[in-house]
């Protein structure tokens, strides 16, 4: 078994049912998916930041007043979405460094409660910010981009901490039977990185801003690939199938291609609606 594949052989009571994957269909879809990925890498317009703009255009309103800027160019995502998808990468990096690569259990109740609060802060701040679109609508405080990014970061941490074990349970035949975050203290240890990332965006140092702008687009694709890979595994009957990365590769490649097609379709739909109905962005 590949040393990087999940864990030791299961005890008899832990063995999951071996699915019967659709081998020919998987092979055809794998080949098509590889072509889609290669075509996107080579033929999609723009440089790396242009590709990040394409991703951001698919999922975010990108209102300039609610976005950070790299020189005179807005980030690919608004401040809130920038925080959310940088938070996804922050949480995923932390779990990988903590050797939680193949975890398949949700965190304990105390951590889940904190994650619900994180998502609640994000939703409340978003609602308060949304109310400012209406001149006479009440709102509790004046929105700020640094606050949008902060609540976004908390939301992104919550999303990946909850999604990662579900993804592993779906993909691997014998995932690690432990939580993504073991205790509230582990979660709290990540929080000092949140203001550091906010300060990094406000630093004004272009190389750092460029990296963060690109990483925000990467965070979007990471979440889309995770979600679409789970869908591909379920549709192809390969849930709980992979023992090695080689066995997982078809699902991951198909999930990546689906994410690219999803972004492309959303871009085209948004461009059509903008041209047809004169949407403001």
Residue boundaries of the structural domains of the chain? 12-277
Is residue 209 helix, strand or coil? Answer: helix
Predicted confidence at residue 65, as pLDDT, reads 93
Predicted confidence at residue 14, as pLDDT, reads 46
Distances (CA, A) of 174 to 18, 35, 225: 11, 30, 21
Calculate the CA dihedral of residues 150, 154, 155, 160 and round it to 10 degrees: 140
- Low-confidence stretches of the chain (pLDDT < 70) are 1-21, 279-281
Burial class (CB in 10 A: 0-12, 13-18, 19+), 137: exposed
Predicted confidence at residue 221, as pLDDT, reads 97
Burial class (CB in 10 A: 0-12, 13-18, 19+), 79: buried
Is residue 18 helix, strand or coil? Answer: coil
Q: Which two tokens stand for residue 16?
A: 């999951």
Predicted confidence at residue 9, as pLDDT, reads 45
Question: 261 Cβ partners below 8 Å, 6+ apart?
Answer: 36
Predicted confidence at residue 160, as pLDDT, reads 98
**Residue 112 CB neighbours (<10 A):** 16
**CA–CA separation, 174 and 188 (whole Å):** 29
Predicted confidence at residue 20, as pLDDT, reads 54
Predicted confidence at residue 5, as pLDDT, reads 58
For 65-87, write each residue's pLDDT tens digit. Answer: 999 999 889 999 999 999 999 99
**CA–CA separation, 161 and 175 (whole Å):** 16
Predicted confidence at residue 43, as pLDDT, reads 81
CA atoms within 13 A on the CB side of 217: 23
Predicted confidence at residue 196, as pLDDT, reads 96
């Amino acid at each position: 078994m590949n040393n990087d594949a999940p864990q030791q052989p299961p005890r008899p009571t832990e063995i999951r049912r071996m699915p019967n994957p659709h081998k020919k269909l998987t092979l055809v879809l794998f080949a098509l998916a590889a072509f889609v990925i290669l075509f996107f890498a080579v033929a999609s317009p723009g440089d790396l930041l242009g590709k990040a703009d394409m991703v951001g255009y698919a999922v975010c309103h990108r209102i300039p007043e609610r976005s950070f800027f790299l020189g005179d160019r807005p980030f690919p995502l608004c401040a809130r979405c920038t925080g959310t998808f940088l938070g996804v990468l922050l949480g995923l990096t932390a779990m990988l460094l903590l050797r939680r690569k193949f975890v398949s259990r949700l965190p304990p109740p105390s951590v889940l409660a904190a994650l619900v609060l994180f998502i609640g802060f994000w939703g409340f701040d978003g609602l308060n910010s949304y109310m400012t679109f209406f001149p006479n609508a009440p709102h509790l405080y004046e929105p700020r981009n640094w606050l949008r990014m902060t609540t976004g970061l908390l939301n992104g941490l919550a999303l990946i901490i909850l999604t990662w074990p579900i993804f592993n349970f779906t993909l691997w035949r014998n995932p690690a039977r432990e939580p993504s975050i073991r205790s509230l203290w582990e979660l709290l240890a990540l929080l000092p990185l949140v203001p550091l990332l906010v300060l990094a965006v406000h630093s004004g140092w272009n190389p750092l801003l460029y990296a963060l702008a690109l990483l925000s687009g990467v965070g979007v694709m990471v979440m889309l690939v995770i979600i679409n890979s789970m869908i591909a595994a379920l549709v192809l009957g390969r849930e709980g199938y992979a023992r090695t990365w080689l066995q997982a590769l078809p699902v991951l490649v198909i999930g990546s291609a689906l994410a690219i097609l999803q972004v492309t379709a959303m871009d085209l739909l948004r461009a059509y609606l903008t041209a047809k109905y004169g949407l403001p962005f």
